[in-house]
Copies of this chain bind each other. A is one copy, B any other.
Amino acid sequence: MAKLSHQPLYRQVVREVLSRIEAAEWRDDEPLPSETELGKNFGVSQGTVRKALDELVVEGVLYRRQGVGTFVAGTSDFLARSRFTPLTGVGGEAPKFELLGCVRINAGEQLAEVLGQRRGAVLWQVRKLIRVAGAAVGLEEILLPERSFPDLDMRRVRELKGNVPELCWRDYGVRLKDGEVRYRAVPAAQAEARLLQVEVGEPLLQLVRLSRDFDGRPQVWSVAWLKTERDAFEPATSAEQD
């Protein structure tokens, strides 16, 4: 492997592996070649390959099974990996999602800027209801620029059960990283109040995320409103990707 730029070798291996995944050389849950074999292909040692794969495992791109192999991880949503747990005690339940709709809207000024679009740009708005143990506990709104994700429609979203990162990846080759999450407590507006069966003005936990691709370009904006009367929200950590 040639020494491009001044990046360490293992970083170049990271990039190379990523781009081969993007080229669909290895698909989800398919094993990569062994570390020693990859090393031969790339002209580096097994240890260097290992260090590169370590990074991608932490990033959640790959997962390993000892004695078996290294596999491409299916993309999954941050919210889907998080849990709703009682305040004390362990465990908690994973949320389930119910697709509400997928419509076009126009970006406001701030939203356009955040997503790197021009003002008034067309965005897809995907809305999902979040259920835990059957009860509606949250609402999620996901916004994607039509420019980057043309010809989206309800059917394609539904096929993947509303898994937007998976959709971006499979249909558009855009692999999303988990974005940083920001938290607020806000009063329920009418729309949320009706869907979540709470009074207008009741406190809701609001999660705001900007997801970027692996090149750092902002791609997807999402806002969720969660009812946390019964169960608290416990975010997924990057370590427990699988």
Contacts and interface: CB of A to CB of B under 8 A. Distances in A.
Copies in the complex: 2
Interface string A176-187: 000011111111
A185 B182 contact: no
B88 A185 contact: no
Nearest to A188: B203
A235 B208 CA distance: 12
Interface of A, helix, strand, loop or mixed by DSSP: strand
Interface stretch (A14-22, A38-46, A225-233): A225-233
Contacts of A103: none
A183 B235 contact: yes
B233 A183 contact: yes
A113 interface: yes
A185 B234 contact: no
Given A204-B203, A205-B205, A232 B182 contact: yes
